[in-house]
């Protein structure tokens, strides 16, 4: 349990390092440029370059010119047939999951999954899904059940409304609870269990 936060952090850092190594590692145009200008490739350049790209992207995205550029890139991606569906779905899901302040309480529910007597936290994404409801002959809601450590992967369940158990958790609290493996409890829960 003590190693779990470290392991999750290390996993994310490893993914970022693989991305940086692929873009800026010793077998890339940046490395060839360094060999031509400096005479050698400096080990660790990929880490520095990757961090620089992340910081600059965040900095640029905060200003109006950066927002304009990101909007133009987004519009270009939305014009490509197959990529449009992938990008749109990923964008909608990440906005829904990570816009905590605008998401009302009551959107985090408990559902029986994968079997009877076993419950998972899910995010209510649609009160009613008409096409699925018509096919099944009953009103169903769409519930997204995220997985850890990547909340952008998971299952979409179509369940009758009477099988949803509402909670008073916010989206932020629900995701934190899932990603921590249940270790993250609200302050009042801790006080109750201590008392």
User: Tens of pLDDT along 66-100?
Assistant: 778 777 877 887 787 777 777 776 666 666 655 54
Among all chains, which residue has been given the structure tokens 């992938």? 86
What is residue 186's predicted lDDT score, i.e. its pLDDT? Answer: 53
What is residue 103's predicted lDDT score, i.e. its pLDDT? Answer: 47
Structural element, H or E, at residue 53: helix 45-61
What is residue 168's predicted lDDT score, i.e. its pLDDT? Answer: 84
Q: What is the pTM of this model?
A: 0.50
Q: Between residues 1 and 135, which one has the greater pLDDT?
A: 135
What is residue 61's predicted lDDT score, i.e. its pLDDT? Answer: 73
**pLDDT score of 6 more than 50:** yes
184 pLDDT band, cuts 50/70/90, is low
What is residue 120's predicted lDDT score, i.e. its pLDDT? Answer: 86
Give the Cβ contact number of residue 153 at 10 Å.
10
pLDDT tens digits for range 31-71: 888 888 888 877 888 888 888 887 887 777 777 777 787 77
- What is the rounded CA–CA span in Å between residue 105 and residue 44? 45
Rg over alpha carbons for the chain, rounded to the nearest Å, is 22
- What is the rounded CA–CA span in Å between residue 7 and residue 5? 5
Average pLDDT over residues 105-109: 71
Are the C-beta atoms of residues 16 and 46 closer than 8 Å to each other? no
Are the C-beta atoms of residues 154 and 146 closer than 8 Å to each other? yes
- What is the rounded CA–CA span in Å between residue 167 and residue 107? 8
Kindly state the tokens that stand for 33.
């440029």
Among all chains, which residue has been given the structure tokens 């605008």? 102
Beta partners for residue 121, in sequence order: 110
- What is the rounded CA–CA span in Å between residue 65 and residue 21? 28
Class of residue 108 by CB neighbours under 10 A (exposed 0-12, middle 13-18, buried 19+)? buried
């Amino acid at each position: 349990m003590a190693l779990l936060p470290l392991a999750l952090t290390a996993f994310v850092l490893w993914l970022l390092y693989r991305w940086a190594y692929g873009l800026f590692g010793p077998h890339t145009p940046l490395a060839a440029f360094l060999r031509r200008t400096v005479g050698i490739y400096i080990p660790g350049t990929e880490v520095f370059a990757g961090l620089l790209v992340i910081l600059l992207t965040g900095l640029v995205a905060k200003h109006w010119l950066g927002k304009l550029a990101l909007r133009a890139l987004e519009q270009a991606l939305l014009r490509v047939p197959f990529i449009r569906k992938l990008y749109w779905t990923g964008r909608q899901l990440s906005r829904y999951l990570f816009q905590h302040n605008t998401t009302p309480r009551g959107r985090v529910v408990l559902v029986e999954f994968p079997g009877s007597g076993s419950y998972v936290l899910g995010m209510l994404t649609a009160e009613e899904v008409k096409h699925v409801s018509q096919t099944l002959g009953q009103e169903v809601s769409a519930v997204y059940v995220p997985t850890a450590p990547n909340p952008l992967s998971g299952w979409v369940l179509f369940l009758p409304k009477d099988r949803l158990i509402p909670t008073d958790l916010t989206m932020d609290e629900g995701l934190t609870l899932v990603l921590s493996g249940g270790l993250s409890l609200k302050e009042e829960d801790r006080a109750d269990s201590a008392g």
